[in-house]
Amino acid sequence: MGDIARLLKNLVICLAIVLLPRLPGHWVSVGGIERGRASQYAPQVMERVVRYRQSRGELPQDLSAYVGAVAVRECADIGDAVWLRFAEGGGWQGPFVAADCGCPIGKKWMEDNNVWVEVDYPTAERGGFVGRMVRVEVLR
């Protein structure tokens, strides 16, 4: 009986890994990759946040190594490098710097809407998804 129970448990885990990322509104974290949605900041908002975080020493002054900035759910992740792959096509993009995070209300909104990152406006423009959420994979 133990072997059958273990087999069933592994089958359920494999099904979750394969199916959940494809179901709307669900996410799964496998091997450091989180799958969910990306939203975006309004024009110039992320740039102001970045300048503020730099003035407080939370981000380096030179961000030339990054292709953009994102907001993440956890404030402890500010300053981390983040890679994104949008479901609408293309490969991995990055690194992005984690420049902002959700306050308690913002974090709850992100969780309720399955949002893993909010990208800067130029990234949304390049990706063609201004004004709407898109599916994304996030690697940190």
Instruction: Enumerate the domain spans of the chain.
Output: 27-139
pTM of structure: 0.75
How far apart are alpha carbons 66 and 97 in whole angstroms?
Answer: 6
Closest listed residue to residue 119, CA positions, set 103, 134, 140, 139: 134
pLDDT of residue 105: 86
Average pLDDT, the chain: 82
Length of the chain: 140
pLDDT of residue 20: 39
Tens-digit pLDDT profile for residues 109-125:
999 999 999 999 999 99
Closest listed residue to residue 115, CA positions, set 67, 68, 73, 84: 73
Fold for the domain defined by 27-139 = Barwin-like endoglucanases (2.40.40)
Q: What is the DSSP letter of 21?
A: G
Closest listed residue to residue 49, CA positions, set 94, 99, 95: 99
pLDDT of residue 6: 53
pLDDT of residue 11: 39
pLDDT of residue 102: 85
Cis peptide before 104 (omega within 30 of 0): no
Residues of the chain under the 70 pLDDT cut: 1-31, 88-89
